[in-house]
Structure 1
Amino acid sequence: MMIMLFLSIFFVQGLEAQSQIGGAVVDEAGIPVPFTNILLLQASDSSLVKGEVTDSAGAFLITDIAPAAYLLEASMIGYAKYNSGVFELKAEPGGKKMGRISLSQNATELAGVEVVAKKPFFEQKIDRLVVNVAGSITAAGATALEVLERSPGIIVDRQNSSISLSGKDGVVVMINGKINRMPMAAVVQMLQGMPSGNIEKIELITTPPANFEAEGNAGYINIVLKQSGDQGLNGSYTVSGGAGKGDVSSAALNFNFRHRDINLYGGYSFSRQAQQQVFNMDRLVGLNGQTIRTETETVRDPVQRNHNLRLGLDWNLSPKTVVGVLVSGYDNRWSMEAMNHSVLSLNGMPDSLIAIRNDEVNHWQHLGGNLNIQHTIGEGESVSLDFDYLRYENENPTNYLIDYSDGSGNFLFSDQTFSGKTTPIRVGVGKLDYTKQFSGNIHLEAGLKGTINRLDNDVSVADIRNGIRMYDPDLTARYHLDESIAAAYTSLDLKLDKKSDLKLGLRYEYTNSNLGSNEQADIVDRQYGNFFPSVFLSRNFNDNNSANLSYSRRITRPTFKDMAPFVIFLDPYTFFSGNAALQPAVSNNLKVDYRYKSALFSLQYAVEDSAIAGFQSRVIEGTNRQLLGAENMKNRKTANFTVAFPLHIGKWWNMQNNLIGTWQEVNTYFDGEPVQVRAQNLQVVWINSFTLPHDFSAELVGFYRTRGLSGAQVSLPMGAVNIGIQKKLGDNGGTLRFGIDDLFNSLGFGFETNFPEYNMVSKGTADFSQRTFKLTYSRNFGNNKLKGSRKRATGAEEERKRVD
C-alpha cells in the first residue's frame, strides 16, 4: 500500500506544469474564512476570468490560467471586500502564490440588493450528486427532512423512521461531513427540526470514493449547512406533539457559539413515542406426515423514550492548526407490554390455543469521545489526526407468562419464562489523513486507519418455577467478540481537460475476527484482507448536459446486533435470534448518470456476494419451530433505474417526481439445495408544494412501492399519503406546522415466503404506527449570520454504524 502511495506522489510530481493562483483567506484574528468568493479579473477591463470558493480551511486554488495581467477579488458576507491590485502571472510551474489574504469585518451592512449567480438545483459532480438547496423556491420554509424527501432517489419512511437511497436501505446521514451516529429514529427527528434555510446543499454519494470507509452498500447523504463570517451565538429549537393510536412528542435544540479562536457547538433532542403496533403471522409446516398451521396475532403497546446529546469544541491554536474535541451519546429506553394469541391447527382442525403476555425492556446507552487535530502544512497541503473511543451498554430483560388451552379453549396449564441479554461494546479507533494539491490538475489524498472492537454478550433463557429461575443450558451462554481492522487508502483526482475529470482510488482493509463463548473458544475465527478500488469519470458537455460513470467495490460487515446471540419469543414456536455465523458481504457497483437541465437519469448495477438479509425465516428441521433473523444469501444482483424531474406548474405550485425501478435476483440455499428468486419493484414519490397567501404554505406527499424482494422473501406492496400546512409567524416569530402522516392508514410492512418443497410457507404483516396528527413549532435564535462549526468527521463512523 505504501509503495502505491509513493508511486502516486512520484507520478503527480512528474505532471506538475500548469499555471495557477493559490492562497488562503483569514479574518483579522488569523482564523480561516471558509466559503469566501474568489474572483479572478482581467486587469485591462475587470471582466471575469474565473471564480472559486475557499475550502473549510480558507484555502483556494484557481487553475488552468493563461499568462497575463490580472486582478484578484475576495468577498464574504460581513466582511469588507478585498482587491489585490494588478499582478502578472507568468508561465512557470507553481504559478502565483497570493499568501494570506486578511479580511476586515464590515461596520455596517449594505441594505440593498445582492446579485448572485444561481446554481442549478441538481449539479452532478464526479463522485456525487449535489442538490443546491439555497435559493430553491420549493425548499423555502421546509425542514431538512422535507428537502431530503424531494431529492432524487431518496425515500423517507416517516412511520418507521428509515431513509433509503437508490432503493437501498442502511444509508448513512452526515451533517457537514460528520455522521451524527444516533439511531436512525433520532436522526430523522433531528432533520425534521432543522430549517431548510440553514442548508446550503445536499450531497448524494451512492458510490463513495476511497477516502470513505469501504463499509456499507447504500451510500452516504451529506447535508452541508450554510456558513457566514460573524461571531456570536445562534441556534434553533423545535417542539412537537401529536397523537394517533398513541401519543408522540419531541423536542430539539441546536446551538453554535463562536468567539475569536474558540467555537462551541452542540445539540440535545428528546422524543417519546407510544404508538400501538400490530403483528400477524401465518405459517404452514409439514411434520411427520401432518400439516401444522400456526396463526399468531401480537398487539404491542411500547413506550420508546430517546435522549441524544452532542457537544463539541474547536480551538484554533494558529491560522494553520485546529484542535477539536467532540463528545456524543444517547440513552434510549424501550419498554413494552404485549399480548400474543396463537392458534395451532392440525390437518385443518384447531389443536391448541396459546396466549402470551410479555413485558420487555430494551435499554441502550452510548458515550463516545473524539480528539481531532488538523494542520495545514503549506498551500494546498494538510494533515489530520483522529482518536476515538466508543462505549455502548445494552440490557434487554423479558418476562413471558404463557397460558395453554386445548382446541376448544379449555385452560390446561401455564408457564413462566425469562430471557435476558447484557451486551457491553468497546471500540477504539485511530485515523490519519493527508491531502496535497500538486498542481491545478492533480489532487492527492492518502490515509491510514486502525480499529479495535470488543463485544461481550451474556444471553440466558430460564423457566420460572415457584419464583426460581431454572436456566436452560442450551440457550444460556457468555459470548465474546474480538475484532481488529487495519486500513490504508490513496486517491488521485485528475483534470483531463476543461470538461472532463477522472478520480482513481484504492483502499485496502485487513480484518481479524474471533468469536467465542465460555464453552467453545473459536466459534468464528476469520482473517481476511480485501482491496477496494474505485473509478470515477465525468464529462460536462455544456450547461444543460453532463454524464458520469463510476465503479466501486464495497463491503458490508455484519452489525454487532445481528451477530450477538439473543432470543426473543413471539410464541413458543416462533422466535427472533442473532446469528454468530454471519459472513461479510462484498459488492461490486457500476453506475451511469446523465443530467439534462433539471432532469436526472441514473442506471446502477450491483452484484453482492454473501449478501446479508435481515428478518429471514427458516424452520428448524424436524420441529415446528420457526427462526427469524439475519442470514447470508449466496449472492444478490440488483439493477435499478432512477428518473427524477421537477415540474413548475405555476408560481404557487411546484412538483418533484422521483421514480425508481428495481430488478433483483437472489440466489441462496434451503436445506442445502440452491434456490433462485427474482422480482421487479417500482417505487414512486410524488411531492407537491403549494405557496399560499399570508405566509401560508402546504404540502402533499405520496409514496408507493410495489412487490419486491427482501432477501429470499417477497415484500408486499406498501404506500402512504402525508399532508401538511405551515404558517410563518412574522420575521422572527418562528414557524407553526400542522401535519397528518399516513392519511389513509395504509402504511405497513408485509412479507411472504412460499417454498413448500422446503417446508417454508409463511406470510406476515407488521403495522408499526397508524394515522398520526402532529403540531410542530420551530424557531431560530441569535445571530443568523454566524459561521458554523468546523466541518469534520471523526475516525469512528464505520464502527458506530455497525452498532446503531
Structure 2
Amino acid sequence: MPNLLTVLLILSMNMLSAQSNLTGTIKDDKNQDVAYANVLLLSSSDSTLIRGGVADDNGHFEINNVASGTYMLRVAMIGFLDQYSESFSLNGGTPTKDFGVITLKEDAVLMNAVEVVAKKPLFEQKIDRLVVNVANSITSSGTNALEVLERTPGVVVNHQSNTLSISGKSGVVVMINGRINYMPADAVVRLLAGMSSDNIEKIEVITTPPAGFDAEGNAGYINIVLKKSLDNGLNGSYGASVGYGKGEQLNGNLNFNYRQGKMNLYGDYSYSRDAAEQIFAFYRRIGLGGDILETDTRSVRDPGTNNHNARIGFDYQLDKKNVLGLLVDGYDTKWLMDAVNTSFVSRNGHLDTSILINNHELNQWKHIGGNLNFQHTFAEGHQLTFDGNILAYKDNNPTEYVNNYSDGEGNFLFSDESRAHKLTPINIKVGKLDYITGIGKKMKLETGVKGTISHFSNDVGVDYKKASEWVAEDTLTAKYDLNEKIFAGYASIETPLVAKVTLKAGLRYENTNSNLGSEEQPNIVDRQFGKWFPSVFLSRDFNENNSMNLAYSKRITRPTFDDMAPFIIFLDPSTFFSGNPALQPATSDNFKLGLRHKSILFSVEYSVEDSSIAQFQSSVIPGTNKELLFAENLKDTKTLNFTLTLPITPVKWWNMSYNIIGGTQQTRKYFDGKLTKFDFAGFGLFSTQTITLPSNFTFEATGYYGSGGLFGVVKIKGYGAINVGLQKKFGDNGGTLRVGYDDVFNTQKFSGISDLPEQNQYFRASLRFSQPTIKISFTQNFGNQKVKSIGEHRSGAEEERERVKQK
C-alpha cells in the first residue's frame, strides 16, 4: 500500500508539473483597457473549446492549469472584432505563457448601427453568493432596496421588529459597495426603505463569507452594489416614479460618472417619500391570580417617510502602480407618524377597560461618513490596499401619547399624557490593511489587519404630565455609554490541489473589548475576549457543465448596543422595550454543499448556532398585565435548508426563473430551568417570468411565497405577493417607461404567534406594512452611450458599516 500511494503521489505531481498558466492584457486601439472580454482557449486542430475565462476590470486575464498540447486563443467582446492568436504549444517546460497586450479593433458597423443590450436573469446563483440583478428588473423599478430584498430567496424582512434574516438565521450584516454599514438594525431597514432601486446595480447575498470578511453576523452578508459606469467621458442616468396605494409614493434619482484619463468622479442622489397606511394588531392572553386577562390592540398608522441619500467619490490613478480614492456619503431619513390606537382589556371574557391612544412619533436618522482608500500594486499579483473610514450617526426619536380610559360600558374614566425621548449619537473609526500576493505559480495568499473603535451614547427618558407640568419618571430615564474596540487579523490561501480541484482556506482572529455603563452604574458590561474563526472552501469542476463546491465557516453575532443597555422604552401603558446586560455573544458553525449542472443549481446549508440572540421576545412582568420586550439568549438554534435554482427558456421570447427553498429549524430555550424545544418546517417559492413583446415592449411578473419560520420562539406565519410590470423602451436613447402593480392580491401581511401554555401566556401580532400599489416610472441615460467595454462592475470588496441596533 505505501508503494501504491507513492506511485499515485508521483503521478499527481507529474500531472501538476505538466500544466501551464496563460496570462495577458486586453486593450483597444486607443490603448484603453477592455474589461470583461471573453478569452477562449481553443484546440488548434479543430477549434474545439477547451477552457474559457473573462478579463478583469483592468483587462487582465489568467487561464490556469492548462494541460500540455497545441492551442490557439480567441478574444471576443461585443462591439469589437474577434482576435485570434497564432497556434502555440505548451509542455512541462512552459509554466507560464504571457501574451502581453492583445489589441482589439472596434466593429464600426456594430457600434454605429446596433444598440447592444446585455440581458441577465433577475437571480444568479454563483459559487459563494446569490446575485439579484436589480438593474435588469422591470418590477423593481420605482421601488426601494427593502422591497427588492423582500422578494429575494431566503431573505425575510420582519416588519414588526424591523430586522432582517437569511435562511431563518438572524445576524445579518449589510454592506454598501463592500463597506459595512454600522447602524442600528431598525435604522438599516429604514435606510433600505429609502434607497431607490434605480440607483442599484445588484444585491449580493453571501451566507458563507471567507476569512477576509468580518466574522460578525451568523446569517452572513447582504452587499448592495450601486451603479458606477466604466465608460470614458460623462455618463449617467436619472429617473422618477410616482405611485399610490392608500398613500402616495414618490421617488427621484440621479447618478453620474465622469471618467477621463487617470481621473474618475462619480456620485448619486436619491429622494423618496412613502406615505402608505399601515395597520398593526396585537393580542395578549395571560393567566393572573386565577383570572384570564386579554389585551386586544389595533393601531391605524398614518406614517410619512422622507429619505435623502447622497454620495460623491473621486478616484485618481497616481501612476501605473498607485490609485488614491476619496468618498463622502450621507443620508437624512425622517419618519413621522400619527397613529390612533384602540386597546381593549378583558377579564375572564368580559370587557374591563378600553383605552384610546393618540400617538405622535418622530424618528430621524442623520449620517455623514468619509472614506480614504489607497491601492499599491508591487507587481502582477502583488497588491496592498488601505481603507479608512470616519462615520458619524445621530438619531432623534421623541414620542408623545395621549391616553383616554373608559370602563367596560364605554363611560369615560380619565386621561393622561406622557412623552418619551431617545437621543443616540454614534461615532465610529475604522482602519483596514490588506495584502495579496502569489506564492509560486499557483498559490495566492491574502492577509490583513483591521481595527474598529466605536463610541455609542443612548439618552432615554419618559415624562408624565401632572397638574399641567411635565415630571420625569426616574425609573424610565437614564443615559448609557458604550465604548468598544475590535481588532482583527486574518490570512487565507487559495491553491489548486489537483486538476480541476481548488482549495481556499483561511483563519481569522478577532479580539473584542466592550464597556457599557453610566455615571450611576459603571461597568454594567465589561467584557474582553478573543476568538478564532476558520473558513474552508473546496471546489471541483468535473467538466464544463458540472461542478461542486463545499464550504465551512465559523461566525459570531455580538450583542448590539441597544440590546445590552438596561434602559426601558415606553410603548403604551402596558408594553415596554428593555435592554438585557446579561446577553452573551452567539457563535455558529456553518456548512454548505453546492452542485451545478449547466444553469441548474442545488445547495444544502446546515448551521448550528450556540447562545442564539433573539430580539423582541415577550415576557410578562410577574403579577401584572404588563409586557416586556427584550433580546435574550436561546440555548441553541439548528437550521437545515435546501435551495434549487431553475432557469427555463421554453421559447426565445419567454424566460422563466424559479428558486425553491425548503428546510427545517429547531430552537431550544430554557423556561424556569426547563429546556423547551420549538420546531418548524417550511418552504419558499420565488419566480420571475419575463416575456419579450414586439415594438420594444417587455412584460414581467414576479411572485414569492414563504411558509414562515421561527423568530426566537415566535412562529412567523406564511405570506407573499405577486407583482406585475410592463416596460417600453424608446429608441435613440429616448428612455424607458415602466408601469407596475405591486401586491396584486393584497397578501403582504406579516404576522406571528408565540404560544407558551406552560407559562399560561399567548401572544399574537400582525402588521399590514404595505398596500396594493400602482406605480409609473421613467428612466433615461445621458452622456457617452457608445459602450467601450460591457460587463458587470465588480466592487472593491472593502468592508465597513453595520452593528448597533435600535428599538
Pick from 786, 800, 804: which aligns with 1:796?
800
Residue 744 of structure 2 corresponds to 743
Q: Secondary structure at the match of 1:56?
A: coil
Deviation at 1:466, TM superposition (A): 3.7
Q: Following the alignment from structure 2 to structure 1, what is the Cα–Cα distance between the partners of residues 310 and 463? A: 37
Pair 453,57 (structure 1): closer, same or farther in 2 beyond 3 Å = farther
Pair 554,757 (structure 1): closer, same or farther in 2 beyond 3 Å = same
Residue 608 of structure 1 corresponds to 609
Q: Following the alignment from structure 1 to structure 2, what is the Cα–Cα distance between the partners of residues 454 and 51? A: 49
Deviation at 1:386, TM superposition (A): 0.9
Contact 2:574–2:627 (Cα < 8 Å) also in 1: yes
Pick from 194, 197, 217: which aligns with 1:192?
197
- Indicate whether 1:183 and 2:162 are aligned: no
Q: Following the alignment from structure 2 to structure 1, what is the Cα–Cα distance between the partners of residues 597 and 90? A: 37
Q: Structure 2, unaligned stretches of length 5 or more?
A: 1-15
Contact 2:753–2:765 (Cα < 8 Å) also in 1: yes
Residue type of the alignment partner of 1:782: G
- Indicate whether 1:543 and 2:547 are aligned: no
Residue 5 of structure 2 corresponds to none
Deviation at 1:637, TM superposition (A): 0.7
Residue type of the alignment partner of 1:791: S
Deviation at 1:483, TM superposition (A): 0.4
Q: Following the alignment from structure 1 to structure 2, what is the Cα–Cα distance between the partners of residues 775 and 705? A: 28
Q: Following the alignment from structure 1 to structure 2, what is the Cα–Cα distance between the partners of residues 131 and 760? A: 41
Residue type of the alignment partner of 2:197: Q
Residue 575 of structure 1 corresponds to 576
Pair 116,710 (structure 1): closer, same or farther in 2 beyond 3 Å = closer
Residue type of the alignment partner of 1:701: T
Higher mean displacement: 433-442 or 422-431: 433-442
Residue type of the alignment partner of 1:417: S
Q: Secondary structure at the match of 1:183?
A: helix
Deviation at 1:704, TM superposition (A): 2.0
Contact 2:152–2:686 (Cα < 8 Å) also in 1: no
Q: Secondary structure at the match of 2:276?
A: coil
Residue 383 of structure 1 corresponds to 384
Contact 1:156–1:162 (Cα < 8 Å) also in 2: yes
Pair 757,230 (structure 1): closer, same or farther in 2 beyond 3 Å = closer
Alpha-carbon RMSD across the aligned residues, in angstroms, is 3.8
- Indicate whether 1:508 and 2:509 are aligned: yes
Contact 2:68–2:91 (Cα < 8 Å) also in 1: yes
- Indicate whether 1:632 and 2:633 are aligned: yes
Deviation at 1:91, TM superposition (A): 4.6
Contact 1:160–1:768 (Cα < 8 Å) also in 2: no
Residue 528 of structure 1 corresponds to 529
CA displacement, residues 631-653 of structure 1 (integer Å, 9 cap, x when unaligned): 22121111111122123333343
Residue type of the alignment partner of 1:797: R
Q: Secondary structure at the match of 2:216?
A: coil
The normalised TM-score by structure 1 is 0.87
Q: Secondary structure at the match of 1:213?
A: coil
Pair 74,323 (structure 1): closer, same or farther in 2 beyond 3 Å = farther
Higher mean displacement: 645-654 or 312-321: 645-654
Pair 765,60 (structure 1): closer, same or farther in 2 beyond 3 Å = same
Q: Following the alignment from structure 1 to structure 2, what is the Cα–Cα distance between the partners of residues 159 and 191? A: 22
Deviation at 1:656, TM superposition (A): 1.9
Q: Secondary structure at the match of 2:432?
A: strand
Q: Following the alignment from structure 2 to structure 1, what is the Cα–Cα distance between the partners of residues 29 and 581? A: 57
CA displacement, residues 433-477 of structure 1 (integer Å, 9 cap, x when unaligned): 011123443111111001101001111111122443211111111
The normalised TM-score by structure 2 is 0.87
Q: Which residues in structure 2 correspond to 1:476-515 (within 5 Å)?
A: 476-515=477-516
Contact 1:256–1:789 (Cα < 8 Å) also in 2: no
Pair 156,611 (structure 1): closer, same or farther in 2 beyond 3 Å = closer
Deviation at 1:375, TM superposition (A): 0.7
Higher mean displacement: 455-464 or 235-244: 235-244
Q: Secondary structure at the match of 2:795?
A: coil
Contact 2:213–2:799 (Cα < 8 Å) also in 1: no
Higher mean displacement: 576-585 or 264-273: 576-585
Q: Following the alignment from structure 2 to structure 1, what is the Cα–Cα distance between the partners of residues 194 and 55? A: 32
Q: Following the alignment from structure 2 to structure 1, what is the Cα–Cα distance between the partners of residues 677 and 716? A: 16
Q: Following the alignment from structure 1 to structure 2, what is the Cα–Cα distance between the partners of residues 378 and 410? A: 83
Q: Following the alignment from structure 2 to structure 1, what is the Cα–Cα distance between the partners of residues 408 and 118? A: 75
Q: Following the alignment from structure 1 to structure 2, what is the Cα–Cα distance between the partners of residues 661 and 424? A: 41
Q: Following the alignment from structure 2 to structure 1, what is the Cα–Cα distance between the partners of residues 723 and 653? A: 19
Deviation at 1:692, TM superposition (A): 2.4
Q: Following the alignment from structure 1 to structure 2, what is the Cα–Cα distance between the partners of residues 528 and 119? A: 45
Pair 28,657 (structure 1): closer, same or farther in 2 beyond 3 Å = closer
Q: Secondary structure at the match of 1:797?
A: coil
Contact 2:537–2:550 (Cα < 8 Å) also in 1: yes
Contact 2:196–2:271 (Cα < 8 Å) also in 1: no
Deviation at 1:261, TM superposition (A): 0.5
Residue 11 of structure 1 corresponds to none
Pair 537,471 (structure 1): closer, same or farther in 2 beyond 3 Å = same
Q: Which residues in structure 2 correspond to 1:675-686 (within 5 Å)?
A: 675-686=676-687
Residue 553 of structure 1 corresponds to 554
Q: Following the alignment from structure 1 to structure 2, what is the Cα–Cα distance between the partners of residues 716 and 356? A: 28
Pair 22,140 (structure 1): closer, same or farther in 2 beyond 3 Å = farther
CA displacement, residues 733-792 of structure 1 (integer Å, 9 cap, x when unaligned): 222222221112121111111113214211111111211111111222222326798832
Residue 659 of structure 1 corresponds to 660
Higher mean displacement: 119-128 or 728-737: 119-128
Residue type of the alignment partner of 1:316: Q
Q: Following the alignment from structure 1 to structure 2, what is the Cα–Cα distance between the partners of residues 129 and 276? A: 32
Higher mean displacement: 308-317 or 744-753: 744-753
Q: Following the alignment from structure 2 to structure 1, what is the Cα–Cα distance between the partners of residues 191 and 148? A: 17
Residue type of the alignment partner of 2:321: K
Q: Following the alignment from structure 2 to structure 1, what is the Cα–Cα distance between the partners of residues 115 and 421? A: 63
CA displacement, residues 647-681 of structure 1 (integer Å, 9 cap, x when unaligned): 33333433222221121111112344322111111
CA displacement, residues 243-294 of structure 1 (integer Å, 9 cap, x when unaligned): 1111111111111110110001111111111111111111112222222211
Residue type of the alignment partner of 1:574: T
Residue type of the alignment partner of 2:549: N
Deviation at 1:298, TM superposition (A): 1.2
Contact 2:484–2:514 (Cα < 8 Å) also in 1: yes
CA displacement, residues 600-650 of structure 1 (integer Å, 9 cap, x when unaligned): 221111111121222321111222110123322121111111122123333
Higher mean displacement: 313-322 or 291-300: 291-300
- Indicate whether 1:781 and 2:782 are aligned: yes
Residue 250 of structure 2 corresponds to 249
Q: Following the alignment from structure 1 to structure 2, what is the Cα–Cα distance between the partners of residues 622 and 538? A: 58
Q: Which residues in structure 2 correspond to 1:176-255 (within 5 Å)?
A: 177=178, 183-184=188-189, 186-187=191-192, 190=195, 192-194=197-199, 204-221=205-222, 230-255=231-256
Contact 1:264–1:313 (Cα < 8 Å) also in 2: yes
Residue 6 of structure 2 corresponds to none
Contact 1:161–1:188 (Cα < 8 Å) also in 2: no
Q: Following the alignment from structure 2 to structure 1, what is the Cα–Cα distance between the partners of residues 517 and 540? A: 51
Contact 2:281–2:299 (Cα < 8 Å) also in 1: yes
Contact 1:700–1:722 (Cα < 8 Å) also in 2: yes
Pair 180,44 (structure 1): closer, same or farther in 2 beyond 3 Å = farther
Contact 2:139–2:701 (Cα < 8 Å) also in 1: no
Residue type of the alignment partner of 1:503: K
Residue 268 of structure 2 corresponds to 267
Q: Following the alignment from structure 1 to structure 2, what is the Cα–Cα distance between the partners of residues 650 and 160? A: 43
- Indicate whether 1:303 and 2:308 are aligned: no
Residue 762 of structure 1 corresponds to 763
Residue 414 of structure 2 corresponds to 413
Higher mean displacement: 370-379 or 343-352: 343-352
Residue type of the alignment partner of 1:679: F
Q: Following the alignment from structure 2 to structure 1, what is the Cα–Cα distance between the partners of residues 485 and 762? A: 40
Higher mean displacement: 575-584 or 85-94: 85-94
Q: Which residues in structure 2 correspond to 1:48-59 (within 5 Å)?
A: 51-59=52-60
Contact 1:233–1:783 (Cα < 8 Å) also in 2: yes
Q: Following the alignment from structure 2 to structure 1, what is the Cα–Cα distance between the partners of residues 774 and 119? A: 37
CA displacement, residues 384-433 of structure 1 (integer Å, 9 cap, x when unaligned): 01111110001111111111222212112211111111110000011010
Residue 9 of structure 1 corresponds to none
